[in-house]
C-alpha cells in the first residue's frame, strides 16, 4: 500500500515538474528556483503524511483539498474540475447532457421532481412536479443528495432507467430511455405589445447567439419591430465568443466589442464584430440586475458604450475576468483566469480586486478613489470599478416576510402540486388568473400548516428588550411593550390578506409552471414585472429614449 502511494507521489511530482517546465518556457517572470523548491517540499510533505499519519489517508481527497485551497487563494473562478465533474462542466458550456430532463430538489429524506423540462423523457413519461423518487433502477433513493441522485439519473442517451414514484399517496413505476437533453438558451421570446419584441436569454452557452438571431428573425417576420427588449437579468454569463456575436447582431461589422488583457501576450486580443448586423436601427433595451455577470456585462456594457441602446435595471454583478479551460491528466481540467476584459469605452467592470486582499483574507471592492471616468461613443460619462450601471435604475422589489416564509416552506409549491392533481388543465397563460375561490382554497390549505416567521419589527423589538433588560428599565415599559407585541401579532394574522396581491403572483407562477413549464413561468412573470413596465413606458416616449443616449453637454 505504502509503495503504491509512494509511486503515485512520484508520478504526481513528475507531472507537476513537467507542467512547470512547460509553463516556464512561456513565462520569463516565473522564478524557477522558488517554484521547484516548493513543489519538492509539497511532494516530500505528502510522502511523509502518507507513510506516517496515524490513520489511512485518501490520496485523491487529500490532493484535491490541497488544489482547491491553493486555487481559492486566487479567485473564485479559477477551479479544478476532476473527471467526476466534467459532465456538469460540459453542461454549463453547452446546455446539453444525457439524462431524463428534469430539475430535482431535496425534501426530507427523498429527492422530488421540482420541474420536468417540456419535451424530454421525464415529462413525456408523465412525471410531474412534486413526484417523490423512491427508487432508481431498483435501488433505494432514500437519503441520497440531489447531487448523488442526479449522477444516477444521468447517463448515455438510449439507456433505460426505471423510477419508482410516489404521488399523492400512491406509488407507481415509470420505465423509459434517457435522451440527449438540451436546455434552451432562449427559453422564451414573443411580443409584449404590438411591435415590441421580447427575448429572454438564460445563459451564454454554445450557439446561443444563433438562437437569439433565429428569435429575432422570427419576430421580424411576424411584425415590424418598434422596439427590442433583451432580458439578461440573472444571466450568469458563459462563453465570451457568444457575447461578441450577440452584440454583433445589433452593431456594424468592424466595431470593437471587447478587449482582453492578460499576463500572456496571446491573451491580449481585440474582438471585433465580424458580420453585418441583423438590426442596427430598431430601438434596443437591455435588462440587467445584480446577478447579471460576465458575458451579460459584455453585452450590456458594449451596447451602452456604443450608445446602441438603453440599459434598464440594477447595477450588474461586476465580473470582468476571463477564464480558459486547460486540460490536465486523467480527464481532469483547470479553469483558470487568464485575462481581464475591457468594453469599448476602455473600462473594466471587475468589482473585486483579488490581487490585493485584506489582512483577514477578505477581498474588498475597488475604492471610490480608484474609480475612473470613461466616455461612451456619444460622450456620455460611464464608470469602471464594478459592474454596469444602468441608464435607468429600478429598485429591487421588496418581498414580504410572509411570502418568503411560504416560499421557503415550499407551501406555495405544495398547493400548486395539489391543484394540478385536481385540475387536468387550465386556461391559456394569458387568460389564467388566481380567482378569489383559488386564493380562499390556498388559505384553507394553510390552516393546518406551519409557516411561522419573524418580522423585522419583531427582531428589532427583541434587541430593544435585551437592552432594557440589561439597563434594568424593562419593568417601566413592560405594559406598553406587551401591547405593542399584541398589535404586531394581530397584524401578522392579517398578513395573508394584506399581502394578497403579492402572494397571488407567486401562486399563479407556480400553478402555471405545472401546465406550461419554464416558458409559462416567464410569460406569467411578465404580467407583474416593473422592469418590463419601465421598458414599455420608455418605448412610448422615444424623445426620452434618444435623449438618454446623448451627451448632456
End-to-end CA distance of the chain: 76
Element (H, E) at 365: strand 363-365
Query: Which runs of E-coded beta strand occur in 310-351?
Result: 310-313, 321-328, 332-342
The sheet that has 227-231: what strands, in order across it? 188-193, 196-200, 227-231, 284-288, 310-313, 392-393
Helices (H) and strands (E) in the chain, counts: 18, 23
Rounded Cα–Cα distance for residues 409 and 110 (Å): 16
> 315 to each of 77, 144, 239, how far by Cα in Å?
21, 38, 21
Contact 19, 13 (CB under 8 A): no
Active site includes 294? Answer: yes
Q: Are strands 227-231 and 196-200 parallel, antiparallel or unpaired?
A: parallel
Task: Count how many residues are written for the chain.
Answer: 553
Catalytic option among 114, 150, 185, 294: 294
> From the CA atom positions of the chain, what is the Rg in Å?
28
Question: How many angstroms separate the CA atoms of 186 and 214, rounded?
Answer: 10
Burial of 172 from C-beta contacts in 10 A (0-12 / 13-18 / 19+):
exposed
Choose the catalytic residue: 319, 345, 403, 524.
319
Which among 50, 131, 305, 307 is annotated as catalytic? 305
Phi, psi of 292 (to 5 degrees): -85, 120
- Residues with catalytic annotation? 294, 305, 319
Amino acid at each position: 500500500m505504502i509503495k503504491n502511494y509512494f509511486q503515485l507521489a512520484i508520478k504526481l511530482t513528475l507531472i507537476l515538474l513537467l507542467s512547470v517546465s512547460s509553463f516556464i518556457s512561456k513565462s520569463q517572470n516565473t522564478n524557477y528556483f522558488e517554484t521547484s523548491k516548493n513543489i519538492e517540499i509539497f511532494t516530500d510533505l505528502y510522502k511523509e503524511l502518507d507513510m506516517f499519519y496515524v490513520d489511512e489517508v485518501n490520496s485523491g481527497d487529500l490532493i484535491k483539498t490541497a488544489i482547491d485551497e491553493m486555487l481559492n487563494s486566487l479567485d473564485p473562478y479559477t477551479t479544478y474540475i476532476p473527471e467526476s465533474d466534467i459532465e456538469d462542466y460540459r453542461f454549463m458550456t453547452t446546455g446539453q447532457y444525457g439524462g431524463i430532463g428534469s430539475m430535482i430538489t431535496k425534501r426530507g429524506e427523498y429527492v422530488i421532481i421540482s420541474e420536468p423540462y417540456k419535451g424530454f423523457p421525464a415529462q413525456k413519461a408523465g412525471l410531474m412536479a412534486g413526484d417523490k423518487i423512491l427508487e432508481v433502477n431498483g435501488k433505494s433513493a432514500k437519503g441520497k443528495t440531489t447531487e448523488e441522485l442526479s449522477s444516477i439519473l444521468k447517463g448515455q442517451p438510449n439507456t433505460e432507467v426505471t423510477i419508482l414514484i410516489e404521488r399523492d399517496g400512491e406509488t407507481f413505476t415509470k420505465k423509459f430511455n434517457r435522451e440527449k437533453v438540451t436546455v434552451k438558451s432562449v427559453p422564451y421570446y414573443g411580443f409584449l405589445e404590438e411591435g415590441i419584441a421580447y427575448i429572454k436569454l438564460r445563459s451564454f452557452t454554445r450557439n446561443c447567439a444563433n438562437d437569439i438571431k433565429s428569435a429575432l428573425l422570427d419576430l421580424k417576420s411576424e411584425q415590424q419591430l418598434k422596439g427590442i427588449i433583451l432580458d439578461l437579468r440573472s444571466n450568469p454569463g458563459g462563453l465570451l465568443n457568444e457575447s461578441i456575436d450577440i452584440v454583433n447582431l445589433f452593431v456594424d461589422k468592424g466595431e470593437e466589442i471587447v478587449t482582453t488583457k492578460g499576463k500572456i501576450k496571446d491573451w491580449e486580443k481585440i474582438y471585433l464584430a465580424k458580420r453585418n448586423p441583423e438590426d442596427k436601427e430598431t430601438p434596443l433595451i437591455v435588462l440587467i440586475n445584480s446577478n447579471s455577470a460576465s458575458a451579460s456585462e459584455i453585452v450590456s456594457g458594449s451596447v451602452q458604450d456604443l450608445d446602441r441602446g438603453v440599459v434598464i435595471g440594477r447595477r450588474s454583478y461586476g465580473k470582468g475576468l476571463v477564464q480558459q479551460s486547460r486540460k490536465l491528466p486523467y480527464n481532469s481540467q483547470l479553469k483558470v483566469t487568464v485575462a481581464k476584459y475591457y468594453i469599448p469605452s476602455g473600462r473594466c467592470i471587475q468589482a473585486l480586486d483579488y490581487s490585493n486582499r485584506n489582512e483577514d483574507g477578505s477581498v474588498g471592492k475597488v475604492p471610490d478613489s480608484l474609480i475612473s471616468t470613461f466616455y461612451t461613443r456619444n460622450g456620455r460619462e460611464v464608470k469602471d470599478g464594478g459592474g454596469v450601471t444602468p441608464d435607468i435604475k429600478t429598485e429591487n422589489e421588496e418581498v414580504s416576510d410572509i411570502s418568503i416564509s411560504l416560499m421557503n416552506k415550499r407551501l406555495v409549491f405544495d398547493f400548486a402540486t395539489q391543484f394540478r392533481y385536481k385540475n387536468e388543465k387550465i386556461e391559456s397563460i394569458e387568460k389564467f388568473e388566481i380567482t378569489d375561490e383559488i386564493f380562499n382554497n390556498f388559505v384553507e390549505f394553510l390552516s393546518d400548516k406551519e409557516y411561522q416567521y419573524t418580522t423585522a419589527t419583531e427582531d428589532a423589538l427583541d434587541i430593544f428588550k435585551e437592552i432594557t433588560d440589561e439597563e434594568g428599565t424593562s419593568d417601566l415599559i413592560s405594559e406598553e411593550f406587551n401591547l405593542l407585541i399584541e398589535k404586531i401579532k394581530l397584524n401578522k394574522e392579517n398578513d395573508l390578506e394584506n399581502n394578497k396581491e403579492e402572494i397571488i403572483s407567486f401562486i399563479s407562477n407556480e400553478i402555471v409552471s405545472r401546465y406550461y413549464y419554464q416558458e409559462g413561468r416567464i410569460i406569467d412573470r411578465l404580467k407583474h414585472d416593473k422592469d418590463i413596465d419601465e421598458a414599455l413606458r420608455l418605448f412610448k416616449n422615444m424623445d426620452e429614449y434618444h435623449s438618454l443616449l446623448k451627451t448632456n453637454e
